[in-house]
Structure 1
Amino acid sequence: MCVLCGLLLNVMAVLNTGTMVDGVAAAVGREPILQSEVIEEAGAELQSLRDSGLAPGELERQADAALRRALDRLIEYKLVYREAAGKKIEIPEKQIERRVTAIRRQYPSQEAFLKALADSGRTVDTLRDEVRKQMTALLFARAKRRQFEQEVAVTEEDIRRYYEENTEQFHHGPRVRARRIFVAAGRDPESRQEARKRAEDILDRLRKGADFAQTALDESDGPEAEDAGMMGWIQGDSLVPALRDALAQLEPGQLSDIIETDFGYHILLLEERQEAGEISLEQARAEIEPLVRRQKSDERYQRWVNTLRQQADVAAGMGAGPEQIIQRFDPVARHHDLVDDMVGAQCPKR
């Protein structure tokens, strides 16, 4: 657990000052995953937590969970990239630069960003290479999920069981179904101006006929981007007021204007609006089938990733001691003094 303690101690330092003492969080074979990489991957969630006003204990608990999810994703990226290596997967430079810019915005200044890279033994070019590999893995994983979705079978019994086990989903108040494209923005004026310009370009393309779902896959920084921007059914106060109020003004099929929040810029597409009511099994069938198909394909995808993990030499710092991780590396890893950071750090018991 020592690596996780170090991660938690580093989180607020990065968010507030842009500085940190780096260390190894995990390894896939002889490839290390650095603490700075985990914090970058969890950046949007950590920034949201910083502004949440949570009590220190709850803040640490949620930061802990965010870091664990980020580490799992990075391990998955490396495993899937190994499978994708050799395949002809092209990643546009524009998408790579956009992700690098999003990482840069997690730091208070360009100088803090470059210092954090240097402290972890990286450069902007090596960061771009890491981003390219992650995006390659994501595209390969997306193709794998589509393959599994096509291969799984959804039976009548599957649909009926889902309906009976999730009856609350089919008794609802007034609700809407919408998609979102989110453009993340930092706090500084330059970052917000760049993000605003990008959001305006996206909205202009949508108004000229670009497909919203595909654009969300390609452009959105939001957590629902992998689902083509689908936010699902929304009711009550589940959204921040700015988004809820914007949806209230839309008709099905209508695009919103750009909506600004502290975290960035949002574009919404309202797909459907429903009054309070109950949905019968027959009415729900078309809605349930893709949900069950996705559930089954997700389970199959996760089994595939677990198989890759079992076949690989994976050591996660949250479940293995520092020495177990460090001994997997060649002397190059020691060049960045990561061994001293890992072995010498004494973390308090929790």
Structure 2
Amino acid sequence: MLQRLLFAVAALACTGSVAAVTPIDRILVVVNDGVILHSEYEAALDNAEQQLRQRGVDNVPRNQLRDQVLERLVLMRIQTQRARDAGIRVDDRELNDVITNIAQRNGMSQAEFARQVRREGRDYLAVREQIRNEIVTQRLRTRELQSRVSVSEEDVDAYLAQEKNVGNTEVDLSHILIAVGDGASPDERAEARSRAEELQRELEAGADFASLAATHSDGQQALEGGDLGWRRLADLPPTFARAVGDLEAGAMAPVIEATGGYHILRVDGRRGSTDRQMVTETRARHILIEPDKLTTDEQARTRAFDLAEQLENGADFGELAREHSDDPGSSNAGGDLGWQPPGQMVEAFQQQVDQLEPGERSRPFRSQYGWHIVEVLDRRERDATDELRRQRARQVIGERRMQEEYEIWLRRLRDEAYIEYRLSEDA
């Protein structure tokens, strides 16, 4: 998890400041009212190479990665600019909370996380800013795209019918995408198909998949060597599931045509999976102090810590929740959230709940909604197979549609952006 996160944010982020430019630094690309510096570009190239080496891919010439890396930097800069204009911010305190959670999930303290980053040859302060950018862009995507994605009960029924047909098989996939833009002409689509078919011929002749993905793919996992990881057949788009459903490990599907371009898929492994039958539910209660127009984040934090001190001194949790909590759904019930399966809460809240035993209470912590104090009351095991199937189906369909919307939205943002390249021969 640590490696994947660091690779993802390091390859995508561009956080340099013009004020910090050294005399030998220079501007490579102007993106709207911002720039991408040569130093950022070289750092991103270094990280891309390190990422590929970690995956056992060390035969990709540096000059073949340049276009991929620069495009990633451009796309990230466009998104962070739009987030800035939309007023999306992540302050240092929230960033520290996120980094602490990342470190804890990997069995480290924040200080140990920082040392690990430095051992890997990265600038810790730069990585902090890269993580901040990733959080900001995730929130931007949610704000701008969430309303465009809906999942009906009929969608869930259709998904479950497909799942019944393909069973619980999982496949480990590698992927290359040759993208085509909205409104591409027949000649442009034909050219893209020809490129995809040529790449597939190279792969069939023994070319390394990860190397070709890193240098040619337009997919989000290009700089991870095209690795999609293990996916349930039922979770794949139907066109993909049909193409790879009967393939053995090592086999490639014929080039797949889709609206956004042409796909090459290779099955690297197959295995069966077992549906989860039991779920651990948690009953918890919480107090939420929410920043608003009249309450700054610092004031909300101060109030949360004051309430935590009152609880330490014996105050009744339910009474404080009824009097002070800003969560309208639980405050009247003394903060009681009822029985909840895992994954129902936002990530920061769920992580706190998962770390607590029944009867334990957290220190104040922040989520996207504000400052919380949570107390776990009890846990139980329950058979929730049918509910989980429907819940998972809804989540998979939503994520799939969100990704489709994201790719369309990102292409539109790029088309609308002002981009001026100032590359030289040694760039």
Normalised-by-shorter TM-score class: 0.3 to 0.5
Hey, which of these two has a bigger chunk of helix by percent? 1
Q: TM-score, normalised to structure 2's length?
A: 0.32
Structure exhibiting the larger radius of gyration computed from Cα positions = 2
Name the TM-score, length of structure 1 as normaliser.
0.38
